[in-house]
Amino acid sequence: MVSPCDTVGTLTPERAYAFFSELVKEFPDTPFSAHCHDDFGMATANAIAALRAGATEVHTTINGIGERAGNAALEEVAVALKLLYNMDVFVKLDRLYDVSMLVSRLAGVPVQPNKAIVGENAFAHESGIHTHAILEDPLTYEPIPPEIVGRTRRLVVGKHAGSKGIKAVLNEMGIYPDERQLKEIFFKVKALGDKGKRVTDADLKAIAESIMNLPKYRPFKLKELTVVTGNKVTPTASVKLDVKGETVVGAATGVGPVDAAINAVRKAVSIVEPIRLDEYHVKSITGGTDAVVEVIVRLSKGDRKVAVLGIHGDIVMASVEAMLSGMNAMLTNNESQNDSKICIKARR
């Protein structure tokens, strides 16, 4: 196998096709592979052009990670070959997202939200026109069926959202407003979005509860949190939660106090519901040593996903509050609060 390398990413699809066509014609018995870098954002297109020209192999990386701007991304090349060129690929496409998240965590390299296939926004829809059309026929704005690559569609609530999209998100939460209530919720969401505030799933739920006079039912409540950290001390956290009047506890270690606290919450909750933390972002929203921090987490349970915001002067508390708010938003069903399916498994 001979592998000519476009190490500085200066090929174009036309030049890649011509280059590999000439090589294959000149050396018909020699197998060629393409190694494309993404300095001009053309690595995926160049890799596919090389295959079309007769190359039998291309080099790719998960999430396109690599030197400088990276390499051709496996998820982009594989899905494009399958859906655009109707070619069989020996890749389990439905595992692409999970592998992407795993590599991102292990490498410490976040995936940009608008990254094709695996980015958080790849199957997210906010615009009223888009969400309306998506709910009627997904093909209008989804060239890739999300389930093919292990993803799910996500409707986003914000200043561009329409009432139909907001209603769909609320229905997923088990909240069913009438037309008057939906109109009030819609205007409240738009007002918050116009002020530049990010409207999370927990925010939407709180708005709906207020307008519809629903009882604020919270399955998970924080009773105690203890975190121990320091020099030559493994960060350790213990947490005590109230779950429908029952107490559950969890303790865990982590690479830092925040990681330990989140691990403790997840361990405590794991005996009730399997919740996965998909993303965690933090930023300071005020200056100085007493800065208030903003934590955004994305959680998932099966096909259900939520994004939640936590704000606190203590980054550990902001993180834990965001986790608990997300779990409450995900698991609360206002139609069946008196018959909740949340149950605590006995521990021997």
Divide the 348 residues of the chain into consecutive groups of 10 and give the mean pLDDT of each group. Answer: 91 95 93 95 96 94 93 95 92 91 85 88 68 65 83 70 78 82 83 70 76 75 90 90 85 90 85 72 62 76 74 83 81 47 34
Give the pLDDT of residue 1. 87
Give the pLDDT of residue 60. 95
Cα separation values, 198 from 134, 166, 287, 294, Å: 22, 14, 20, 11
Give the global pTM: 0.61
- Write the burial class of residue 245 (CB in 10 Å: 0-12 exposed, 13-18 middle, 19+ buried): exposed
Cα separation values, 131 from 106, 137, 144, 187, 292, Å: 34, 10, 16, 17, 34
Give the pLDDT of residue 326. 81
Give the pLDDT of residue 190. 77
* Cβ atoms of 332 and 174 closer than 8 Å: yes
Fill in the DSSP letter of residue 152.
-
- Write the burial class of residue 199 (CB in 10 Å: 0-12 exposed, 13-18 middle, 19+ buried): buried
Query: Cα dihedral sign for 6, 10, 11, 12?
Result: positive
User: Which residue ranges form the domains of the chain, and what is each CATH number?
Assistant: 5-107 (3.20.20.70), 124-212 (no CATH), 221-339 (3.30.160.270)
Least Cα distance to 264 among 316, 342, 332 occurs for 316
Give the pLDDT of residue 131. 62
Least Cα distance to 200 among 212, 210, 192 occurs for 192
Give the pLDDT of residue 51. 95
- Structure-block tokens of residue 342: 């949340």
End-to-end CA separation in angstroms for the chain = 58
* Cβ atoms of 169 and 204 closer than 8 Å: yes
Residue that the structure tokens 């396109």 belong to: 64
CB atoms within 10 A of CB 10: 12
Give the pLDDT of residue 43. 96
Give the pLDDT of residue 54. 94
SS3 assignment, position 208:
helix
What is Dmax (Cα atoms) for the chain? 76
Between CA 201 and CA 305 the distance in angstroms is: 9
